[in-house]
Amino acid sequence: MNNNQLDLSIVISLFNEEESLRELAKWIEDVMVKEGYAYEIIMVDDGSRDNSWKVVRELAEKNKCIRGISFRRNYGKSAALYEGFKAANGSVVVTMDADLQDSPEEIPEMYKMITEQGYDIVSGWKQHRQDNKLTKNLPSKLYNATARWITGIKLHDMNCGLKAYRKEVVKNIEVYGEMHRYIPYLAKNAGFDRITEKPVHHQKRKYGKSKFGVERFVNGFLDLLSLWFLSKFSKKPMHFFGFTGLVTFFIGGIIAIWLIIEKLVNQANGLRFRPVTDQPLFYLALVALVVGIMLFLAGFICEMISRNSGERNHYNIRETL
């Protein structure tokens, strides 16, 4: 089969999921054959410590549409998706988890939304989650509300593993660290802003237990702030540090000058006055002055680094005539 003619690439990141892989592969195969898609399944083993990779090798030997990538150690889901995206050849790339909680039967409709309706990304929305309401549902709602507010992307479930992408999207973004949670935001910043969502069926975990704890929401929020900052100021850091530094410096300067003038006026009029250096507000003003200078210098240094970066003139071009 010519890789350039593939309809779908299904990228699956997995870690210690040996029990579910055979069932998942069969489920996907049944759906793909029924719909008549030319497809490939790319299973990325993120350093599993069980027999997951052995199962992947067995599946690849039986089905030539299955490919595998194995990490020597656990690098995280973002690294797995990065390698999967790099290897994908399909015109539409679908990501899904290996735990059987995502249904392959959702893929045909998501594929049509990309190819026929012109969307760049279709994100799954688990309206009725089959997780613990206290430890998963409530934190997830708060997390997604914050993500919508910061990113401006109106998705109810930013972190859903089941997503479909136009091939150009995954080839023009870089997923690293823990940024797999925010691929729609990365895509939006790269110019792919036709993003929508589709309600999908969410099933209870059949084997094993979740690899993610509550701490992912804290880490996710910090990653979101980092991503927002980089998207806003990576090419113009002086606009943030310089502006903040100038504002802080002037506030400190105004307070210091006001205290000095107040002391001189009271002294000239024979009124009781307090030495400037005896006032705590004066030292707060000095701190503001120093911090303002440091922020401004930080902005200057960041600007110098940015101007010497190899990515300073990297732009995603839609088309050239």
Lowest mean pLDDT among 14-28, 223-237, 266-280: 223-237
The domains of the chain are located at 3-232, 237-307
Q: What is the pLDDT of residue 239?
A: 79
Q: Using pLDDT thresholds of 50, 70 and 90, give the confidence band for residue 309.
A: low
Task: Indicate whether 307 pLDDT > 70.
Answer: no
Residue 62 has pLDDT above 90, yes or no: yes
pTM: 0.72
* Centroid of chain to Cα 98: 20
Residue 255 CA: distances (Å) to CA of 130, 217, 261, 276: 56, 40, 10, 11
Of the ranges 52-56, 176-180, 242-246, 279-283, the best mean pLDDT one: 52-56
Which is more confidently placed, 4 or 257?
257
What pLDDT, in 10s, does the model give residues 81-132? 999 999 999 999 999 999 898 999 999 999 999 999 999 999 999 876 655 5
Residue 251's pLDDT is 95
Which pLDDT band holds residue 308 (cuts at 50, 70, 90)?
low
What pLDDT is stored for residue 216 in this prediction?
61
What six digits make up the tokens of 4?
A: 């350039």
Residue carrying the six token digits 């969307």? 119
Per-residue confidence (pLDDT) for residue 316, from 0 to 100:
55
pLDDT for res 129? 65
Confidence of residue 53 (pLDDT cuts 50, 70, 90): very high
Domain 3-232 has CATH 3.40.50.720: no
pLDDT at position 93 is 97
Summarize the chain as % helix, strand, coil (round to 5).
55, 15, 35
Task: Identify whether the C-beta of residue 93 lies closer than 8 Å to the C-beta of residue 11.
Answer: yes
Residue 180 is predicted with a pLDDT of 86
How high is the mean pLDDT of the chain?
85
pLDDT at residue 213, as a whole number = 54
Say what the pLDDT of residue 132 is: 55
Average pLDDT over residues 30-45: 96
pLDDT of residue 236: 76
Sheet containing strand 121-125, edge to edge, reads 66-70, 39-45, 8-14, 92-97, 163-166, 121-125, 195-199
Higher pLDDT, 2 or 38: 38
Share of residues in the chain with pLDDT > 90 (%): 50
For the stretch 311-320, pLDDT in tens is 554 555 555 5
